[in-house]
Structure 1
Amino acid sequence: MFAASGARAETCLRADALGTSRVLSVDPAATPRVGLQSFPDSLPLDDHEVVLTFDDGPHGPTTTKILEALSRECVRATFFLIGQSAAANAPLVKRMAAEGHTIGHHTWAHADLKKITLAAAIEQIDRGIAADELALNGKASAVPSTPFFRFPYFESTPALLALLQSRGIAVFGADFWASDWNKMTPEQQLTLITGRLQQAGRGIILFHDTKAQTAAMMPDFLRYLRANHYRVVHIMSATKSR
């Protein structure tokens, strides 16, 4: 279930900025998992609509540059945080939220949850959420204020998917990605991601805000979106976790 799909984001003070075209509210109870690289379904995006997501942060030197680039273009994104990084960078987590971005969760230490016991995997999930919540709201809780989660390496298990669904936490894959875990120049990365975007036409895009090449490329990528009439959709939770 998706709500308020036609709602527009706040008006941007810069008339020539890319902006955020609309807000899409996701109900985890009705939409437990999305992202075509991992699951059968994605978000109901129109042609030339994209959702920008970032994993593995926050990391001061690079996340700050990405936030600045997004702010200049009045664009909102979703950040899937590593708990130990959130714990070390609480002011940056608060800044993300203050600037209107959505905070999702990505475990405590980016463990591959398929390679550890179920109990250890649950501990990674809960500890990561608690650290993110402490950085964001000043109170540790395994119940996320925004119930969005992404598996490290997209490695899920049926038991963990069922657990997260029972908790009312939506699992996000991606429709395509920038492959920015591979070393390349910002120019090479821009060519790669714009080519994939042209082929897909729409979708949930995965970046990593810990990568210097991504931070360097982001202003040019946002300008590309604006010049080629792409529209950014901001995702938010329609409900609280149960």
Structure 2
Amino acid sequence: MANRHLNRLASWLAGAAVVFACNGIASAADCLRQNALGTSRVLAVDPKAYPRVGSNEFPKTLPLADHEVVLTFDDGPRPPNTQKVLEALAQECVRATFFLVGRSSAEFPELVRRIASQGHSIAHHSWSHQMMSKMPFEQAMDDIHRGIAADELALEGVSTNVPSTPFFRFPHFDSSPAMLDALQSRGIVVFGTDLWASDWEDISPDQELMNVIAQLESTRKGIILLHDAQARTAAMMPALLRYLHKNGYRVVHLVSAAQAEKKAETRH
């Protein structure tokens, strides 16, 4: 099985509830570069219907069609790797969701604004990236709120623990029922994942790509977890995007239902 994937990869590299969905910005047709992958559509996520998503961690995930994927990135912003990831996404006119660590947002606020200015969604990944279940409940929630406040300060210039995009992913997927309930009560969607690149391991960019390809051959869709802080992921991204394009995958961009409704109101 591994040899089959390696041979296929080598051959290929040589050749190269939801409220509603609306037409995506940065679609392939709108992209300035011809034959780009593009973003196929925008999916507005209602936290009341989908409070927790990701089949590896929760019973429910996003209702994606066959060959639809959502690109998500954790642990940034972290130069220079985040910039390299952004360049790869921009080259293909693809929109993603970035789950930021608050202390990194405080250190690199200009990079947070750059992520947002390129049309990506800013989501949250705590302040300190520690194991939340090892903390007392109040300390863990304070860490979550502090991370949100740092992300929002970098993004909007205002420190608030009310996220403009109410998406959160626990570091290491480590939570507790009480924490999950607390975030659900605040209307914050907790993200797990459907597949991952294992890019936290000591592997090459080619091995990372093979990890994703092998899982996609099984799932054929899903939320993909990547880490923009990792140099191997930054190096792998152009090849992953080419693979998605060549094999008929469509990238879905996530926004919150409230953001989508507000945008719809401004158009009328």
TM > 0.5: yes
Give the 5 Å matches for 1:134-145. 134-145=153-164
For the residue of structure 1 that corresponds to 2:129, the secondary structure is coil
- The amino acid that maps onto 1:233 is V
Whole-Å separation in 2 of the counterparts to 1:185 and 1:96: 25
Matched residue of 1:140: which SS? coil
Of 228, 232, 239 in structure 2, the residue corresponding to residue 220 of structure 1 is 239
Match of 1:208 in 2: 227
In structure 2, the partner of 1:197 is 216
Structure 1 residue corresponding to 2:56, chosen from 3, 25, 37: 37
Q: CA deviation at 1:190?
A: 1.0
- Please say if 1:69 is aligned against 2:88: yes
Q: Does the CA-based 8 Å contact 1:29-1:168 persist in structure 2?
A: yes
Alignment of 1:38-187 (within 5 A): 38-187=57-206
Deviations 1:68-111 (A, max 9, x none): 00000000000000000000110110011110000100000101
**TM-align CA RMSD:** 0.9
How far did residue 6 of structure 1 move? Answer: 4.3
1:166-212 Cα shifts (integer Å, max 9, x gaps) = 11101010001000000111111111111111111000000000111
Q: Deviations over 1:83-140 (max 9, x none)?
A: 0000011011001111000010000010111001001101110000000000000010
- Separation in 2, partners of 1:192, 1:38: 19
- What is residue 9 of structure 1 aligned with on the other side? 25
TM-score (norm 2): 0.88
Counting matched residue pairs gives 240
Q: Distance in 1 between matches of 2:57 and 2:186?
A: 20
Gapped runs of 5+ residues in structure 2?
1-16, 260-268
- Residue 237 (1) aligns with residue 253 (2): no
Q: Name the aligned partner's letter for residue 251 of structure 2.
A: V
State the alpha-carbon separation in 2 of the partners of residues 211 and 8 from structure 1: 28
What SS is found at the alignment partner of 1:194? helix
Q: Is the Cα–Cα contact under 8 Å of residues 28 and 239 in structure 1 kept in the other structure?
A: no
Q: Which runs of 5 or more structure 1 residues have no equivalent in the other structure?
A: none
2:24–2:253 Cα contact (<8 Å) kept: no
Shift in Å at residue 9 of structure 1? 2.4
Secondary structure in 1 aligned to 2:58?
coil
Residue type of the alignment partner of 1:39: F
Distance (whole Å) between structure 2 residues aligned to residue 197 and residue 6 of structure 1: 25
Q: TM-score, normalised by structure 1?
A: 0.97
How far residue 29 of structure 1 moved from its aligned partner, in angstroms, is 2.1
Is the 8 Å Cα contact of residues 130 and 141 (structure 1) preserved in structure 2? yes
Structure 2 residue identity aligned to 1:8: G
Q: What SS is found at the alignment partner of 2:43?
A: strand
CA–CA separation in structure 1 for the residues paired with 2:76 and 2:22: 30
d(CA) in 2 for partners of 1:231, 1:153: 27
